Structure 1
């Protein structure tokens, strides 16, 4: 992957729906939907992490913040901190959001959200897309703990996370995907998660859920559940925890390669999902497992 400051066409190895080029400015299509592109880049300067580039593109609004209270998996305080916020509702059907994140050599980036992302149907029945391209260089660390992505009734959304890590990079990524708001019919959500380390695939996962996904409601696939979550931990010193474990029938811990472990869980709502993810992370041991309703601890440096 090239630098986030010069975004290329999304690589051809991704699904067709993930391919987009946003080298130009944000623009509105003829039907009123948005095509927007935001960029976050960090660098290590004079021994401290600095934000080297920050591009907001309505409605994607990354904002720098300072350390505040207990932070997830950050040791020593040296990190660039970003809060993602939305300056407009969406994405709405027809919208395409592209987020490029580039964590340069030796730097540390912590990304959090201000609130959940609510994906809404558009007036013309089109699909929406959110594509995030993450590059983490040698000796760099990215900690990304977003709030849930909620697929509202009637939406058709494609959610893509494409991470390219150097062999000595560290990553902690936790996602929560939810079908519908409280007492609402589910929207349709297609989620693609890929993580490469040193150019080799560690995680490639494609999940299609909701009314548009044939068979997704079967008991062997998603059943009565409405929430799905993943935790990806990549540590060049070796993946923590057991090689494989199933804390219960609705969650699993899987070592994908010597440096990467993946946790996947489902739940009938967000609290149930979070409890299962937290329980599974407890199997990883310190410093990945931590007390409290959501596991905030320190990442090894």
Structure 2
């Protein structure tokens, strides 16, 4: 039918809450199709969950949704078992990947997936919406690689919108690849680099002791946000060097 996507629709849903004994339970752990979810070995109070790609994709026309909630007393770490590769599908329709994270007061969520790779000929829009209650804690890492080795990237649009206690904390969007607004690969944006990422850390302690803005090497910077948060943005020639920068920044902020 015209106007109806022919791609795969899949969703994953995770709910974590404190178990009252110093740990974190997972009353909801659901995934379907290419979005399988697996609980892994816990560490102290923290529950750990991996997204496991059961199929290739997202392909053109696919619609993926991941929802995760850290309720009262929860400590939740979410990752992925491998990089996500956006690939062209049988149609020219773009794929869409939506992430929704919700963190209650006193809860903590770490979103630390592997890289998203935009392969040649693909089209993907990623939208991440995060709701934080006052007193919530968050570590959010986002890494994108434009093209596999030796190839041009596909079209990738990424939006991150974060609200804290009902108020906007961060709202930004970037488009890269064929058809993106001019200048995305110029000196003011990527300057020829093919890996880009950011790290957002939200902690109540930053209210009284905000981080100081500073460069992190030649192609990364740490900035305080107007709230108890710090944002690291970075570009690099490849995924390995990008991860090195973001991991170092997280250690400094811990």
Q: Structure 1: which 5+ residue stretches go unaligned?
A: 1-28, 68-73, 289-301
Structure 1 residues 31 and 208: CA distance shift in structure 2, 3 A: closer
Show the counterpart of 2:13.
Answer: 39
After TM superposition, the structure 1 = structure 2 runs for residues 206-217 of structure 1, keeping only pairs within 5 Å, are: 206-215=173-182, 216-217=184-185
Cα separation, 2, equivalents of 1:252 and 1:234: 16
Equivalent residue in structure 1 for 2:38, among 53, 56, 63: 63
1:68-105 CA deviation, whole Å, 9 max, x = no partner?
Answer: xxxxxx7xx11221011111000000001011111101
Show the counterpart of 1:7.
Answer: none
Give the alignment's Cα RMSD to 1 decimal: 1.7
Q: Report the Cα offset of residue 276 of structure 1.
A: 2.5
Name the count of aligned residue pairs.
Answer: 249
Which 4+ runs in 1 deviate beyond 6 A? Answer: none
What is the TM-score with the length of structure 2 in the denominator? 0.92
SS at match of 2:246: helix
Structure 1 residues 275-284 or 203-212, which shifts more?
A: 275-284
Equivalent residue in structure 1 for 2:246, among 273, 277, 284: 277
SS at match of 1:272: helix
Structure 1 residues 45 and 222: CA distance shift in structure 2, 3 A: same
Cα separation, 2, equivalents of 1:151 and 1:115: 14
After TM superposition, the structure 1 = structure 2 runs for residues 212-291 of structure 1, keeping only pairs within 5 Å, are: 212-215=179-182, 216-238=184-206, 242-281=211-250, 283-284=252-253, 288=254
Show the counterpart of 2:45.
Answer: 78
What is the TM-score with the length of structure 1 in the denominator? 0.79
SS at match of 1:66: strand
Show the counterpart of 2:95.
Answer: 128
> Is contact 1:42-1:103 (8 Å) kept?
yes
> Is contact 2:211-2:230 (8 Å) kept?
no
Greater fraction of residues in strand? 2
Structure 1 residues 166 and 31: CA distance shift in structure 2, 3 A: closer
> Is contact 2:212-2:224 (8 Å) kept?
yes
Cα separation, 1, equivalents of 2:233 and 2:129: 17
